[in-house]
Amino acid sequence: MEIFLQQLVNGLTLGSLYALIAVGYTVVYGIVQLINFAHGEVFMIGAFGALATYLLLFQGQTALWILPIMIIGAMIASVGTAVLMERVAYRPLRNAPRLAPLITAIGISVFLQEFVRLFFDKVPGTDFPSAKAKIPFPQIDVVTGRAFHPMEGVTIQRAAIFTVAMLLLSAVGLWWFVNKTKLGRGMQAVSQDPDTARLMGINVDRIIVVAFAVGAALAAIAGVAQGLQITNVNFKMGFIAGLKAFTAAVLGGIGNIQGAVVGGLVLGLAEAFITQYTGMLPDPFGQFGGSSWKDVWAFALLIVILVFRPQGLLGAKVVDRA
Amino acid sequence: MNLPTLPDTLREQHSGKGWPLALVGSLLLLVSGLLSWSFDPSILGDISIAFWPASLQLFAMILGAVGVLLALMHRGPLHRLGDWFDTALGLRALGTGSLLFVVFSLVAIASEAGGLVNVNPGGWLALAGALLLTVGARFVPQRQLNSFAKAKANPVLEIVVIVLGMAAILFGAAYVLGRDDPWIFVGFLVMAAVAFMALARAGFFTWMSHVAQRHRHVLTLAAFVVAFLFPFTQDGSDANMSIATQVLIFAATAIGLNIVVGLAGLLDLGYIAFLGSGAYVGAMMSNAASATIGWKPPFIVVMLIGACVAATLGLIIGSPTLRVSGDYLAIVTLAFGEIFRLSMFNLDGNNGPDLTNGPNGIPGIPDLNLFGFDFGKPHTVFGIQLGRFSNYYFILLLLIGFIILVFTRLNNSRIGRGWVAIREDERAAEAMGVNTFGLKLLGFAVGAFLAGLAGTIKAHQDTAASPDQYIFLESAFLLAAVVLGGMGTVAGVLIGATILKLLPEKLRFFSEYRLLLFGLLLVIMMRVRPEGLIASKRRQLEFHEDDEELAQEVQADHLIDAAPEAAR
């Protein structure tokens, strides 16, 4: 029972992180039918943006009020990156064959990773550490520190609570944005029918930029949460996280925002439970459990979903694009 | 190289003055190479002595010679050739390009020797020549051209041109690989690119492609002879041969990928796993101390087993294509590739059965020994010593020849046409009776089989197999080679593979920025020339659907191709 509860906690934490990133994939895909392969890098840049904000303004401090400012710094970095990349790389390719934007996305992904690796410590006027190795992430009062032990054998990290709380907050905020604001309703209209939306006077180009920005903002929050959880950041953290978040987006039904949240949580739980319970099987099967195989299980799940249920759990908003 | 064109009135007014200016500019460029370019004899392979041209001076002279040739074809003793070649466009490209080259050279001198004061009159003369050529070429009027389809030159002459071209490639490759100075290396590349562009604009390569079609066998033979002779130009040095073998393995794998991506249009982002499975089979069945399989069959058998394992994986990876296509297929293949790498990383005995030695991989794989021929030992042929890598180079050359044969034969077969049909419109293909699923599976299997063959040799040549050789980035590199060179063509992939493997090896000073530039290159290519450097016309059309002229060309080509078959 303790094991089950512990894995439930782990799965929900992991899942919240995936969900926050997955929203970015799903929003963009729902509107332009593009797998923004570089979205994992936007997440990574969010984490580095928060780190840079901290190092610039609050080095050595641990007060809680710093955290919102770090999140704003992270959002500025990742939203800026996402908007720039839409404008420079994706927009010119909007009517190109589908291979072109995908290859562009791979290019951007490699470029952004290397850009951070090479130039993070060369920002003029700062003495940032080199990003070629892992950089410790700042510790903040209240959200990091001593873990909770609600019962014997179950540990809940403070950062885990923060992650889940941020997901809830973001989900409410996103719901409000999509359903109650003019821009959000514009997004819905464009995702249903871009041509008609354009005829109704919606600036489709602007809506696409907004979609990239919304996804990037949530990815930035995820970046901060990830940094607090594993207490360090590195330039490679976006690749695997991005791939798994994409799995989550497909699992929930790509283009479907609620789906992305559900998919993220389900994927997180599945990963935690499969890893744990496979490891408890008798050998030789038990050898395929544990943390060294967890990514394999996640990818296997990705393949199974893509092959057998490409429309996802809640049903994709976009039919017959894949 | 598309500068804004001049107003027509201005050009007509001065049309007579363009040609002499261009000719004088080219001659100046040619002569400048004979003068001293720099005070400092220690830089750039000594370009300080008059009448003893070296490195950059030689390159300038080559550009000048091309300029003189084009100018004389426009008006003068060779003017009859001007009816066929667009000399005006060629000269314009050459002018802009040589200006670029000369400026690059002056920057090189200035930065190596410390300031522009070190530039001797020769360098300034070259600049003046390039400027004159650039300005003059703008005013050279274009002429009415004949179509190459009607051109019939002496076949012997055409073959001589092919042989000379191949010899130039061999000589150029041997020369440029011997350069260690990055300025000279890049300078050569700039010069070669400028000469290539100028000749391409003049229509020289259109003519060459017609010639190549008439003498396809001669061309193929010549290309292989050149590739075969290459190790003999290296004089026993293994450094360049090591790069060359890497290029060959990379190219062989990329051609296999080209079947999947270029012909069948299925995006595969986990292709490196096939090379990896071949390499791991080769390693596990080798005589290495840590090899995990006791059975040691002859290498030919190992090769076949490795290829078959890869092909089986290809079938497994290809099977989702029944239900998945497009972007989702790309992600599925990427996930398979990652699963392969992680499995190789994990199967060390603690996490699953001991097959691969985990993260350490299988080191110490002995050299190949085929029919008593030891690939590890240097051999001497005609008094020229050939090192270890040369031995591998020859066997890889055989392999790549086989792979190219498979590729071209498939491409021109019913199967290849089926792939193209699937790529262009899968539903229409299916409606026309193409077995889409079977053909897609076959594409994956054949591509994987070829990569597996290359992998078994790679294991011996690298003397080790480890998981970190088969990361996602390598798949991205392979894809980039296909995309950069041109999807669906062999020549394109060969060029793409060479560029992607050779440049980082020779340009060590930018190795730090290698991946950064690689990412940038992919983005820029997709925006500027998504069909690749050497694209098949048909593929090009897919990226430029509204290009009517191209559409007619493609149609004409296919009609020409079809006509003799119908007549038979």
Hey, which residues 322-351 in chain B have their CB within 8 Å of chain A?
A: 323-328, 330-332, 334-336, 338-339, 342-343, 345-346, 350-351
Identify whether B503 is part of a domain: no
Q: Say if residue B245 is in the same domain as residue B191.
A: no
Contact B27, B75 (CB under 8 A): no
Hey, which residues 184-203 in chain A have their CB within 8 Å of chain B?
A: none
3-state secondary structure of B354: strand
**pLDDT of the residue at B512:** 78
- The verdict on a CB contact (< 8 Å) between B527 and A97 is no
Cα dist from B294 to A289, B284, B291, B360, whole Å = 28, 8, 8, 19
Residue with tokens 């191709």: B561
3-state secondary structure of B38: strand
Question: Of the candidates B265, B269, B512, which has its C-beta nearest A118's C-beta?
Answer: B512
**pLDDT of the residue at B1:** 43
Q: Say if residue B271 is in the same domain as residue B127.
A: no
Q: Flag whether pLDDT at B524 surpasses 50.
A: yes
Q: Flag whether pLDDT at B567 surpasses 50.
A: no
Quickly state the pLDDT bin for B468 (edges 50, 70, 90): confident
Q: Say if residue B387 is in the same domain as residue B241.
A: yes
Q: Say if residue B321 is in the same domain as residue B210.
A: no
CA atoms within 13 A on the CB side of A38: 29
Element housing B458 (H / E): helix B436-462
Asked whether the CA dihedral B527, B528, B530, B533 is positive or negative, the reply is negative
Neighbours of B81 (CB within 10 A): 15
pLDDT for B452-464, tens place per residue?
Answer: 999 998 888 888 7
Question: Of the candidates B336, B346, B526, which has its C-beta nearest A100's C-beta?
Answer: B526
Among left, alpha and beta (phi > 0; psi -120 to 50; other), residue B3 is beta
For residue A65, give every residue at least 6 positions away whose Cβ sits within 8 Å of its Cβ, in sequence order, or none: none
Q: Report the distance separating Cα B518 and Cα B506, nearest Å.
A: 15
pTM confidence score: 0.80
Q: Is A163 on the interface with B (CB under 8 A)?
A: no
Find the residue in A nearest to B516 (Cα).
Answer: A111
Averaged pLDDT for residues B20-46: 78
Q: Which domain holds residue B358?
A: 237-471
Contact B271, B447 (CB under 8 A): yes
- Among A210-214, B157-161, B235-239, the range of highest mean pLDDT: A210-214
Identify whether B520 is part of a domain: no
What number of residues does chain A have? 322
Task: Name chain B contacts of A308, Cβ cutoff 8 Å.
Answer: 323
Q: Report the distance separating Cα B106 and Cα B50, nearest Å.
A: 17
Farthest-apart Cα atoms in chain A, separation: 64
**Better-predicted residue by pLDDT, B78 or B561:** B78
Angle between helices B388-411 and B216-229 (to 10 degrees): 160
Identify whether B507 is part of a domain: no
Count of domains forming chain B: 3
Identify whether B212 is part of a domain: yes
Contact B11, B79 (CB under 8 A): no
Torsion angle, CA of B210/B211/B216/B222, rounded to 10 degrees?
-140
Q: Say if residue B71 is in the same domain as residue B177.
A: yes
The residues with which B384 forms a beta bridge, in sequence order, are: B381
Average pLDDT, chain B: 79
Question: Of the candidates B326, B336, B523, which has its C-beta nearest A303's C-beta?
Answer: B336
Q: Say if residue B298 is in the same domain as residue B414.
A: yes
Q: Report the distance separating Cα B169 and Cα B172, nearest Å.
A: 5
Identify whether B510 is part of a domain: no
**pLDDT of the residue at B508:** 67
Question: Of the candidates B352, B476, B513, which has its C-beta nearest A106's C-beta?
Answer: B476
Q: Is A110 on the interface with B (CB under 8 A)?
A: yes
Q: Say if residue B211 is in the same domain as residue B296.
A: no
Identify whether B276 is part of a domain: yes
Q: Say if residue B222 is in the same domain as residue B92.
A: yes
pLDDT for B529-542, tens place per residue?
Answer: 777 776 666 666 66
Quickly state the pLDDT bin for B50 (edges 50, 70, 90): low
- The verdict on a CB contact (< 8 Å) between A102 and B328 is no
**pLDDT of the residue at A77:** 93
**pLDDT of the residue at A92:** 85
Contact B384, B405 (CB under 8 A): no
Cα dist from A179 to A143, A182, A216, A218, A277, whole Å = 31, 8, 19, 17, 40
Task: Name chain A contacts of B504, Cβ cutoff 8 Å.
Answer: none
Cis ω for the linkage preceding A284 (within 30 of 0): yes
Q: Say if residue B283 is in the same domain as residue B329.
A: yes
- The verdict on a CB contact (< 8 Å) between B342 and A295 is yes
Neighbours of A231 (CB within 10 A): 14
| Three-class secondary structure assignment of B194-212 | HHHHHHHHCCHHHHHHHHH
Q: Is B320 on the interface with A (CB under 8 A)?
A: yes
- Among B471, B488, B516, the domain boundary falls at B471
Q: Report the distance separating Cα A42 and Cα A36, nearest Å.
A: 10
- Among B230, B256, B281, the domain boundary falls at B230
Q: What is the CA radius of gyration of chain A?
A: 20
Fill in the DSSP letter of residue A203. -
Cα dist from A242 to A20, A86, A318, B537, whole Å = 11, 17, 21, 36
Q: Say if residue B442 is in the same domain as residue B338.
A: yes
Q: Which two tokens stand for residue B174?
A: 């041997």
Asked whether the CA dihedral A49, A54, A57, A63 is positive or negative, the reply is positive
Identify whether B541 is part of a domain: yes
pLDDT for B277-324, tens place per residue?
Answer: 998 888 888 777 677 777 777 788 888 998 999 999 988 888 877 677
Q: B154-190 burial string, b = 16+ CB within 10 Å, else e?
A: eeeebbebbbebbeebbeebbebbebeeebbbbbbbb
Cα dist from A126 to A48, A138, A140, A286, B419, whole Å = 14, 17, 22, 49, 55
Q: Say if residue B220 is in the same domain as residue B255.
A: no
Q: Which two tokens stand for residue B559?
A: 């009609």
Q: Say if residue B386 is in the same domain as residue B275.
A: yes
Q: Is B380 on the interface with A (CB under 8 A)?
A: no
Quickly state the pLDDT bin for B194 (edges 50, 70, 90): confident
**pLDDT of the residue at B563:** 42
Neighbours of A24 (CB within 10 A): 32
pLDDT for B418-448, tens place per residue?
Answer: 988 888 888 888 888 888 888 888 989 999 9
Name residue B432's amino acid.
Answer: M
pLDDT tens, chain A, 322 aa long: 778 888 888 899 989 999 999 988 888 888 888 888 889 999 999 999 999 998 888 887 777 888 889 999 999 999 999 999 999 888 888 877 777 888 888 889 989 998 998 888 887 777 788 878 888 888 887 777 777 777 777 888 888 888 999 999 999 999 899 888 998 899 888 888 888 888 988 888 899 999 999 999 999 999 999 998 888 888 888 888 888 888 888 888 888 888 889 989 998 998 888 888 877 776 666 667 667 788 888 888 888 887 787 777 776 655 444 3
For residue B209, give every residue at least 6 positions away whose Cβ sits within 8 Å of its Cβ, in sequence order, or none: none
- The verdict on a CB contact (< 8 Å) between B526 and A292 is no
- Among B211, B230, B249, the domain boundary falls at B230
- Among the ranges given (A86-95, B296-305, B477-486, B549-558), the one the predictor scored with the smallest mean pLDDT: B549-558
**pLDDT of the residue at B545:** 67
Q: Flag whether pLDDT at B55 surpasses 60.
A: yes
Question: Of the candidates B265, B332, B343, which has its C-beta nearest A306's C-beta?
Answer: B332
**pLDDT of the residue at B560:** 47
Identify whether B500 is part of a domain: no
Q: Flag whether pLDDT at B2 surpasses 60.
A: no
